[in-house]
């Protein structure tokens, strides 16, 4: 395969860093990996290479304010989660289609990368979308026994840090530093029943309802902190007109001790799960 670094320019002044994986023999399908909150694109490298070896043309990238995706001038707006979905995902998908017009394009969303499909303009440009540990993060969707930690995070930890430090430091979750508005959006999406909403609190649902492509949701049976299965089912409900279904992956079914929220993309993941996802993307 050929692996190249690319830069995707957004209309509002950001250069998004991406890594593209080009197969020797293409199967006619392009796959864009939309990452989780604060997770660098290199985290998905092993999985992207696996897909590329199956013939997929694959692109991973960093959202604005994360990793190498930064503003090119001082007038660029501060990064937010809404901008990730409405602007970054749009710029990346538009650029990919322009450069690979011969490919059928499908998407993968990890955590927030799947949620934000609902605010991506013209999201039916993806003919299929695989959500991995993507969830509806309203705190009441967590099982009762896990709610205290969730409430502490959305109502306490996030507001405390974005108020006092201007963002969320890397050491809190072990991910990349989150800019202030990104952390603020994450907090308000989790605190309110409206979930993904505009700055005035109005729910943004049109894009969720407009998507009519095929969708698969992978929930992890042992993911308690970030995306328990209850929250995965709740997100699927928002895509009310999609051809969708949920699968809950149990570690024991793949001879794994744990998968959790991040394990699917690790090199240690059982290749059976990766192969099953590749077969779905080929459908």
| Alpha carbon distance 76, 46 (integer Å) | 33
- Could you tell me the pTM of the whole model? 0.97
Q: Going by C-beta distance under 8 Å and a sequence separation of 6 or more, which residues neighbour residue 244?
A: 214, 215, 216, 217, 236
37-73 pLDDT, tens per residue? 999 999 999 999 999 999 999 999 999 999 999 999 9
| Alpha carbon distance 129, 131 (integer Å) | 6
77-110 pLDDT, tens per residue? 999 999 999 999 999 999 999 999 999 999 999 9
pLDDT level of residue 159 (50, 70, 90 thresholds): very high
What tokens were used for 275?
A: 């192969």
| Alpha carbon distance 197, 245 (integer Å) | 25
High-pLDDT (> 70) share of the chain, %: 100
192-228 pLDDT, tens per residue? 999 999 999 999 999 999 999 999 999 999 999 999 9
Identify which of 40, 8, 3, 43 has the alpha carbon closest to the alpha carbon of residue 22: 3
pLDDT of residue 245: 97
| Alpha carbon distance 15, 9 (integer Å) | 5
């Amino acid at each position: 395969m050929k692996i190249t670094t690319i830069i995707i320019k957004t209309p509002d002044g950001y250069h998004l860093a991406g890594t593209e994986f080009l197969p020797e023999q293409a199967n006619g399908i392009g796959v864009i990996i939309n990452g989780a909150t604060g997770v660098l694109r290199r985290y998905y490298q092993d999985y992207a290479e696996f897909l590329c070896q199956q013939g997929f043309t694959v692109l991973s990238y960093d959202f604005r304010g994360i990793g190498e995706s930064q503003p090119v001038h001082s007038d660029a707006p501060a990064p937010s989660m809404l901008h990730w979905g409405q602007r970054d995902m749009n710029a990346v998908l538009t650029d990919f289609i322009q450069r690979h017009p011969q490919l059928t394009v499908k998407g993968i969303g990890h955590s927030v990368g799947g949620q934000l499909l609902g605010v991506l303009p013209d999201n039916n440009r993806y003919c299929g979308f695989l959500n991995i540990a993507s969830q509806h993060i309203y705190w009441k969707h967590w099982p009762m026994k896990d709610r205290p930690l969730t409430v502490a995070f959305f109502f306490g930890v996030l507001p405390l840090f974005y108020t006092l430090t201007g963002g969320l430091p890397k050491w809190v979750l072990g991910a990349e530093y989150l800019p202030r508005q990104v952390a603020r959006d994450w907090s308000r999406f989790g605190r309110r029943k409206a979930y993904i909403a505009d700055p005035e609190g109005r729910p943004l649902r049109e894009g969720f309802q407009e998507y009519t492509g095929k969708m698969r949701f992978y929930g992890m049976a042992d993911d308690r902190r970030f995306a328990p299965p209850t929250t995965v089912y709740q997100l699927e409900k928002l895509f009310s007109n999609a051809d969708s279904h949920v699968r809950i992956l149990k570690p024991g079914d793949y001879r794994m001790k744990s998968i959790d929220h991040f394990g699917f993309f690790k090199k240690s993941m059982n290749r059976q799960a990766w192969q099953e996802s590749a077969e779905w993307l080929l459908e």
